[in-house]
Amino acid sequence: MGVNNQVAPVGIIGGTGLTTLSGLEITGERVVDTPWGEPSSVLVDGLLGDQPVVFLSRHGNPHRIPPHQVNYRANLHALQQAGVRTVVGVNAVGGIHADMGPAHIVIPDQIIDYTWGRASTFFEGELEETTHIDFTFPYSELARALLIDAARTVGCSFSDFGVYGATQGPRLETAAEVRRLERDGCDLVGMTGMPEAALAAELKMNYVCLALVVNRAAGKSDHIITMTEIEVAIDQGMSGVKRILEIAIGGLGALTPQPS
Ligand SMILES: CSC[C@H]1O[C@H](OP(=O)(O)O)[C@H](O)[C@@H]1O
Ligand code: HPA
């Protein structure tokens, strides 16, 4: 994996708080279908600066698809068909690590999957051979480096590491569940990180997560979690997420696909 001069569109999957991407100069919208069903939203084609982008809203637009019912396979397949080689998954998360409070941005380096019952692989049905992809490093290190450099330039509060614990949802966790996640080594908790990351890897796409902490995880503050505090953190932090994307996007577009 490296960089080249051929520009491919970058896929951005927007999550909670990023149903549309302001700043994207929209050039078109496509309703697409895939062998795995319909993606969550239309594909929005546009330019972020000079860089072609394909934007997809993970929970639909308006936000209506809960995390356990997102058709992750259709979303990733649709982006691949659109020529995307690199995908940025933007995620709202709960912070477990003490330094990861509301409006903090995290570019995680690892993930633990606690989800169940989701369609989590393209390798099923009548196959010619069994395939086991390597998933040691679930996020593209080159893409992470670009986001980390961009976050430094923005000067926002961010962490360049973090283990994302992907829970089933749609309910939030109990305090004891969060303590277990912490013992397991999770720094963040969200509901959509998997199988999105693994499906991108199966398609040999570069995948990276750009996470915005929108609340302290259950039991990690002196109050229960409210949608109001989440909305406040989104208002405070999403502008930083967008600035990071704007700065990193050209470099992300130049990344080549993962080697076979
Ligand atoms: C209380 S908000 C929970 C909701 O937000 C996150 O979505 P996304 O990762 O798409 O930004 C989380 O995973 C849940 O789906
Ligand atoms: O606390 C949380 N838990 C799971 N997913 C989340 N998405 C935002 N906050 C959270």
> How many CB atoms are closer than 10 A to CB 248?
28
pLDDT digits (tens, 9 = 90+) for 67-101: 999 999 999 999 999 999 999 999 999 999 999 99
In a domain, 2, yes or no: no
DSSP secondary structure code for residue 173 in this structure: P
Q: Are 244 and 143 in contact (CB under 8 A)?
A: no
What is the 3-class SS of 71-131, one letter each residue?
A: CHHHHHHHHHHCCCCEEEEEEEEEECCCCCCCCCEECCCEEEECCCCCCCCCCCCCCCCCC
The bound ligand whose nearest atom lies closest to the alpha carbon of 173 is 2
* Nearest of 219, 30, 20, 210 to residue 109 by alpha carbon: 210
In the chain, the number of structural domains is 1
In a domain, 130, yes or no: no
CA 172 to ligand 1 centroid distance, Å: 10
In a domain, 112, yes or no: yes
Instruction: Go through the chain and tell me how many residues it has.
Output: 260
In a domain, 125, yes or no: no
Task: Determine the structural domain holding residue 91 and report its residue range.
Answer: 10-120+135-249
Q: What is the CATH number of the domain that holds 153?
A: 3.40.50.1580
> Which of 192, 194, 224, 231 is the best mutation target for the ligand 1 pocket, counting ligand atoms within 8 Å of the beta carbon and taking the most?
192
In a domain, 127, yes or no: no
Tens digit of each residue's pLDDT, the chain (260 residues)? 455 556 799 999 999 999 999 999 999 999 999 999 999 999 999 999 999 999 999 999 999 999 999 999 999 999 999 999 999 999 999 999 999 999 999 999 999 999 999 999 999 988 888 899 999 999 999 999 999 999 999 999 999 999 999 999 999 999 999 999 999 999 999 999 999 999 999 999 999 999 999 999 999 999 999 999 999 999 999 999 999 999 999 999 999 877 65
Residue 178: CA count within 13 A, CB half-sphere:
23
In a domain, 5, yes or no: no
CA 189 to ligand 2 centroid distance, Å: 6
- Atom of ligand 2 at shortest distance to CA of 217? 1
In a domain, 3, yes or no: no
In a domain, 77, yes or no: yes
Residue 186: CA count within 13 A, CB half-sphere:
24
Q: Which pTM does this prediction carry? A: 0.96
